[in-house]
Amino acid sequence: MDKNTELINKANEIIEKNRDIAEGDYYRLKYHIMPPTGLLNDPNGFIHYKGEYHLFYQFHPFDTTHGLKYWAHMKSKDLVHWEELPIALAPSKWYETHGCYSGSAVKNDGILTLVYTGNVKDEEGNRETYQCLATTEDGIQFSKYDNNPVMYNQPEGYTRHFRDPKVWKKDGLWYMVIGTQTVKEEGRVLLFKSKDLKDWELVGEVAGSNLNDLGYLGYMWECPDLFSLNGKDVLIFSPQGIEAKGDLYNNIYQSGYFVGKLDYSTGKMEHGEFIEIDRGFEFYAPQTTLDEKGRRIMFAWMGLPEREEHPTVEHKWIHAMTLPRVLELKGSKLYQKPVEELKLLRKDQVTYKDILIDNEEIILQKISGDVLELLVEFELEDANEFGIKLRCSEDGKEETVLYYDRNNEKFIFDRNKSGKGYKGIRRCKIPNTNILKLHIFMDRSSLEVFINDGEEVFTGRIYPSKESLGIKLFAKEGKVKIRNISKWNLE
Ligand code: FRU
């Protein structure tokens, strides 16, 4: 048996052994992508190919820790119903002995081609990093390119933290961004170009930490993604080493973006400030693709590195993907909207209109549950705080609170009383307007909250007990009107 088959069989064995244990977990999500067992991290190779969306992810089948990484593979016609396909990549070659790390997918003359990082570490902890190709004829079985790797280690001046190629084509040439750090430990994104995906030439530095008046933005930048939107260029990346500053950068690592203009001849991007993409807790390593409808769609890992103490580990699985979100640019700000196709999951609509809440907490008949979508439109009268409590227990001990603090003009996600798992509060400025629209996607153990048509998004995992299904609406020190609230169960 060849090494590849052997590694895939080994993974399949453990997946089948543990699948029922994972399936038996109440916290299993109902409409998000999750690993069958083991650990999921970055979305990889996201592409619309022959009318179907393919999404791969970083996968450690053997444990809920960051071990030997494979590429798991899913596909879908509608971004909502996903089919699990056989493992696409296993770390079987000399240039990837410690994992097939993150990367992207392109159509090269119609052939689906993966571009990824082969990660090698020896006993002394020395790292080698190789960029590699793999192709498929049938969209299921992948063959690694015979002359892999196509890039050996990093150019001079950078360390071997050099990985996560994102590739696209422009004016007949292939371009690739890679995340890295300088020998002085400053995060960087580099641009390369190629005629054939095989011979790559460095163009230059796109952006980096300590490169301009934005100052220090971390020691390592992972998972870059560069694309154009509304005539501007957007660089998404996941920097490590930025310190918390007030409401900003409170997670262990960040994911954010620059908007500007890339000079393809020098590689340099003129850009504005660094903006966090998501204001919640678990969100990292986003990756986008352009689909055949012309939408720029993003998935992200609904998890973070070095945060492996989620209650799901006792059921032998950890982490999930966010929902797919469409990106739009308004000025220099990214807006995120859940894809339209998610409406396919809706059933049992319940709607109420024009309810005044006056310094009180109310419950509405049939508005409760643990797998649902909620649209709430608040019209502020004179309350100082107002919002919604989700996953409330009858005794009032458990609740997850989403609310607006009018005096500080902040939206707040408080999971200190959410149940098991990591706790905390995240806040983000939302300038005072009379209307606050919340679009909430709740799954068994996740929340994604889109505010004011995607101006800000808060994502987080919560682990309440399964009896905590209550939903309450409240206003403090004054009144708020609910213009409209609609709820759907999702299936
Ligand atoms: C980001 C990351 C990538 C790397 C992958 C390994 O979460 O560290 O930089 O390619 O995960 O799984």
| Catalytic hit among 2, 25, 42, 109 | 42
pLDDT of residue 450: 98
- Is 42 one of the annotated active-site residues of the chain? yes
pLDDT of residue 381: 96
pLDDT tens per residue, range 64-99? 999 999 999 999 999 999 999 999 999 999 999 999
* Matching residue, tokens 């190709």: 133
Torsion, Cα of 413, 419, 423, 429 (10° steps)? 0
CA 2 → CA 7, 93, 232, distances in Å? 9, 11, 47
pLDDT of residue 124: 86
Q: Where are the domains of the chain?
A: 3-338, 346-490
HSE (side-chain half, CA atoms, 13 Å) at 249? 15
> Residue 42 Cα, ligand 1 centroid: separation in angstroms?
7
pLDDT of residue 432: 82
Nearest atom within ligand 1 for CA of residue 69: 12
Please answer whether residues 216 and 186 qualify as being in contact, where contact means their C-beta atoms are separated by less than 8 angstroms.
Answer: yes
Is residue 305 within 6 Å of ligand 1 at its C-beta? yes
- Please name the amino acid found at residue 112: L
CA 353, 396, 491 angle in degrees (round to 5)? 55
Per DSSP, which regions of 185-279 are E strands?
Answer: 187-194, 201-208, 220-229, 232-240, 256-262, 269-271, 275-276
User: Exposure of 314 by Cβ count < 10 A (0-12 exposed, 13-18 middle, 19+ buried)?
Assistant: exposed
pLDDT of residue 181: 98
pLDDT of residue 138: 95
Nearest Cα residue to 73 out of 93, 49, 108, 96: 49
149 prior amide bond cis, ω within 30: yes
- Residues in Cβ contact with 436 at an 8 Å cutoff, skipping those fewer than 6 apart: 377, 378, 380, 404, 411, 430, 451, 452
> Residue 307 Cα, ligand 1 centroid: separation in angstroms?
14
The CATH fold of domain 3-338: Tachylectin-2; Chain A (2.115.10)
* Matching residue, tokens 């859940």: 338
Domain 346-490 is found in CATH 3.30.9.10: no
Is residue 41 within 6 Å of ligand 1 at its C-beta? yes
pLDDT of residue 364: 98
pLDDT of residue 261: 98
Is residue 58 within 6 Å of ligand 1 at its C-beta? yes
- Rounded distance between C-alpha atoms, residue 273 and residue 444, angstroms: 35
CA 310, 316, 321 angle in degrees (round to 5)? 60
Please answer whether residues 134 and 144 qualify as being in contact, where contact means their C-beta atoms are separated by less than 8 angstroms.
Answer: yes
In angstroms, how far is the first alpha carbon of the chain from the final one?
42
Please answer whether residues 226 and 235 qualify as being in contact, where contact means their C-beta atoms are separated by less than 8 angstroms.
Answer: yes
Nearest Cα residue to 383 out of 421, 346, 436, 457: 436
> Residue 306 Cα, ligand 1 centroid: separation in angstroms?
11
- Is the fold of 3-338 the same as that of 346-490? no
Ranges of the chain whose pLDDT falls below 70: none
pLDDT of residue 125: 83
